Chain A
Amino acid sequence: AQSVTQLDSHVSVSEGTPVLLRCNYSSSYSPSLFWYVQHPNKGLQLLLKYTSAATLVKGINGFEAEFKKSETSFHLTKPSAHMSDAAEYFCVVSVTGGGYQKVTFGTGTKLQVIP
């Protein structure tokens, strides 16, 4: 069994300040972890992924996330928020077995960036 919890449904930051979106997961097997971003009325775009290589993962648009097995966390960060970062972000856990993926989505965190 696997699950993912996004600890905040809404996060508000000022432009130019750091962003922290929190994600905790549980999995019986070694998981792959992802962050996706969704702008209004659009599909989801992959920001970054962890697949058992380096624990600090760098993604697009200056985002990065650190896999912490001891804390079962995969928090998303960015040093300085930009107005274009305002969107909804989804943390996803995936376990692969038999050649196929079992994927579980978090409920999303809406990021508001204040000018």
Chain B
Amino acid sequence: DGGITQSPKYLFRKEGQNVTLSCEQNLNHDAMYWYRQDPGQGLRLIYYSQIVNDFQKGDIAEGYSVSREKKESFPLTVTSAQKNPTAFYLCASSSRQAYGYTFGSGTRLTVV
């Protein structure tokens, strides 16, 4: 079945470390997105990519970086510059032809 796979499901990071969250899709979707979810704040867009080797900052890109070397993959790195990284991170994808997003099951990142 086609879908989006996020890994790991839970991730713990020490202060000052960079960590990378994986997002892979086999839906042949052109566009991919990273959202951060905090309680009571809904979803906030971190980065998005509409085609391979191109990506744009969303509303809260500071302290994050991404790459899009393959259509199927859109990894997110949470750098040490992100001061409050503890959150639930959701990856999504969409195609030009269809409406709406397909979401992954999320990664919960906790700073310890």
Q: Do A and B bind each other?
A: yes
Known contacts: A43-B104, A43-B105. The answer to whether A106 contacts B42 by CB under 8 A is yes
* A94 CB contacts on chain B under 8 angstroms: 99-100
Known contacts: A49-B100, A100-B31. The answer to whether A42 contacts B105 by CB under 8 A is yes
The CB with the most chain A CB atoms within 10 A, among B40, B43, B94, B104, is that of B43
Q: How many residues of B contact A (CB 8 A)?
A: 23
Chain A at the B interface: SS class: strand
Q: Does B79 contact A (CB under 8 A)?
A: no
Q: Does A44 contact B (CB under 8 A)?
A: yes
Interface residues of B (CB under 8 A from A): 4, 6, 31, 35, 40-43, 50, 88, 90, 92, 94, 96, 99-106, 108
- Can you list 25 A-B contacts with CB-CB less than 8 angstroms, sorted by A residue number? A9-B40, A36-B103, A41-B106, A41-B108, A42-B106, A43-B4, A43-B105, A43-B106, A44-B103, A45-B103, A46-B101, A46-B102, A49-B99, A51-B99, A90-B42, A90-B43, A92-B100, A94-B99, A94-B100, A99-B96, A105-B35, A105-B42, A105-B43, A106-B42, A107-B42
